[in-house]
Chains A and B, each alone.
Chain A
Amino acid sequence: EPEVTQTPSHQVTQMGQEVILRCVPISNHLYFYWYRQILGQKVEFLVSFYNNEISEKSEIFDDQFSVERPDGSNFTLKIRSTKLEDSAMYFCASRYKIKWPERSTEAFFGQGTRLTVV
Chain B
Amino acid sequence: AQTVTQSQPEMSVQEAETVTLSCTYDTSESDYYLFWYKQPPSRQMILVIRQEAYKQQNATENRFSVNFQKAAKSFSLKISDSQLGDAAMYFCALYMNYGGSQGNLIFGKGTKLSVKP
Question: Which residues of A pack against B, CB within 8 Å?
Answer: 31, 33, 35, 37, 41-45, 48, 50, 55-56, 89, 91, 93, 95, 98, 100-101, 103-104, 106-112, 114
Contacts and interface: CB of A to CB of B under 8 A. Distances in A.
B34 to A, nearest CB: 11
Nearest to B107: A43
Given A89-B43, A111-B44, A103 B97 contact: yes
A111 B64 CA distance: 22
Contacts of A56: 102, 104
Nearest to B42: A111
A104 B43 contact: no
B117 interface: no
30 contacts: A31-B103, A35-B105, A37-B43, A42-B91, A42-B108, A42-B109, A43-B45, A43-B93, A43-B105, A43-B107, A45-B104, A45-B106, A48-B103, A48-B104, A56-B102, A56-B104, A89-B43, A93-B45, A93-B105, A98-B103, A100-B98, A103-B97, A106-B50, A106-B95, A107-B95, A107-B105, A108-B47, A109-B45, A112-B44, A114-B43
